Amino acid sequence: MKTVTTLGIGALSLAVAASASAGITSVGPDVIVGDLPNVSNYNAVGGMNAYSVGTTSCNIGDEELLWISNINQHPVIGQNLYRYHNGVMMQVGQSWLKHGFFALSGSLCDSCQGTAGSTLGVGCSDPYGSGLNGSQGGLGPRFEVNAYTGAYPYPFSNPQGSSGNSIFKRLQVPLVDVLPSEVPGAIFYIEGQYVTPDDAAAQNHYNNASYRRVNMSSNGNITITGSFQTVREQPAIMAWAAVDPDATVVPMDVQNEGRFHLGTKVIDNGDGTWTYHYAVHNLNSDRSIGSVSVNIPNGVNVTDIGFHDVHYHSGEPFDGTDWPGAVSGGTLTWATDSFAQNANANAIRWGTMYNFWYTADAAPELTSANFGLFKPGGIGSVDSIRGRVPTPMGASICLGDCDGSGTIDFNDLVEMLFAFGPNSGDACDTDESGAVDFNDLVATLFLFGPCN
């Protein structure tokens, strides 16, 4: 099995460096969400609310972006809703994908080199209002789209027909997840994301999502005010770290395949226990994630293992079965069925974020977690990626045992390279200087062998 270790907390500055940009900044076509200007609210059905979100795209690249309506050479547009409540960010709803059909030549993000509509010109913007993005006949399923390559079949499929009731294909959210009476004090964020082939071919597909904070009324209707502006080129999981200083969000990349984001937070319950929260967001990986494993040292008691996903609907084929979580052999693992068992299992697919949590009677330290990829890759490709997360501390830290395996070896040196920077209390900080650096690599070489 091949595994790749991802960047650690020091990569956070790279992940959040994108801001509300203007001007041509990219080589090739590069579509972003320049604004999320409005929301349409629809009548609830069976305890499920529905919305649609307006999106204004901008081409910040130096080439025109294809926008051809009757073939598979136009953007598809996803809409999502996120909620921050009790210190934790969760995705609570998603829509089907609006298929683009014509590009106007606005100037929201820059001066526009206008076109005839089958491309989005250099510097140009194109508004799709919430009503248009909620038009059911123009909404296609997510399962047909490879968000990393931008490829999809056209015409798109309609497993349950092209139109239906008020919530069909739209951004569906359970009422219990949005009503202020059910989640008092919650903060909500809408998100838009564009996926299109020529943007992906130019490797400009890491900045295609933007988010905006919105207000939620007592009956579950969304309103937008000028107090909160669209945060460009960042997915909504980044709002967790923006609103909560105790939360951390970092990118995790699969080489030549896609990007995830890993959010973490630990809550001290004040009674000798801590609740550990992890959120995994898939920006554009087609391979997806099918398992999450974290270290649990001997003698640490774990309770209240939890999981949260987002609802698929309107004919998407994916199985929504919750991932069971269990501790075995010093590891807590959540997993869905393997790809071989069920190709439509409930993996963390593009445009979604899943949450995992548990309570333990030990304070946190940083260790390495394993994220198993769901779909098989090609020859020589990795089967999993790794990221650093807070996990319960054992009776004592085994200095140098970066991956928490119980043995200090070459793998720990590799983990250490990705943990460089301030890391007080981390097992990678072998010399206990408060930072992981070259001196720790040298010190670890003299500790090879089992932890005592």
Same domain, 169 and 88: yes
Same domain, 95 and 174: yes
In a domain, 400, yes or no: no
Same domain, 35 and 85: yes
Same domain, 180 and 289: no
Cα–Cα dist 49/346, whole Å = 22
Cα–Cα dist 144/349, whole Å = 12
List b or e across 135-151, with b for residues whose CB sees 16 or more CB atoms inside 10 angstroms: ebebbbbbebbbbbbbb
| Residue located via tokens 């789209």 | 145
In a domain, 164, yes or no: yes
In a domain, 37, yes or no: yes
Q: Helices marked H in 59-217 — which ranges?
A: 130-133, 197-201
Domain that holds residue 363: 1-16+247-395
Q: What is the largest CA-CA distance in the chain?
A: 71
Same domain, 72 and 196: yes
Same domain, 226 and 258: no
Domain limit, last residue, from 202, 233, 264: 233
In a domain, 57, yes or no: yes
Same domain, 59 and 188: yes
Render each residue's pLDDT in the chain as its tens digit; 452 residues. Answer: 555 544 443 333 333 333 444 578 899 999 999 999 999 999 999 999 999 999 999 999 999 999 999 999 999 999 999 999 999 999 999 999 999 999 999 999 999 999 999 999 999 999 999 999 999 999 999 999 999 999 999 999 999 999 999 999 999 999 999 999 999 999 999 999 999 999 999 999 999 999 999 999 999 999 998 899 999 999 999 999 999 999 999 999 999 999 999 999 999 999 999 999 999 999 999 999 999 999 999 999 999 999 999 999 999 999 999 999 999 999 999 999 999 999 999 999 999 999 999 999 999 999 999 999 999 999 899 999 999 999 999 866 788 998 878 899 999 998 888 888 887 567 898 887 888 999 999 889 988 998 87
In a domain, 412, yes or no: no
Structural domains of the chain, count: 2
In a domain, 123, yes or no: yes
> In a 10 Å sphere around its CB, with 0-12 CB exposed, 13-18 middle and 19+ buried, how is residue 407 labelled?
middle
Same domain, 12 and 77: no
**Where in 48-186 does DSSP place strands (E)?**
48-53, 55-59, 65-66, 76-85, 88-94, 97-99, 119-120, 125-128, 139-140, 171-174
In a domain, 109, yes or no: yes
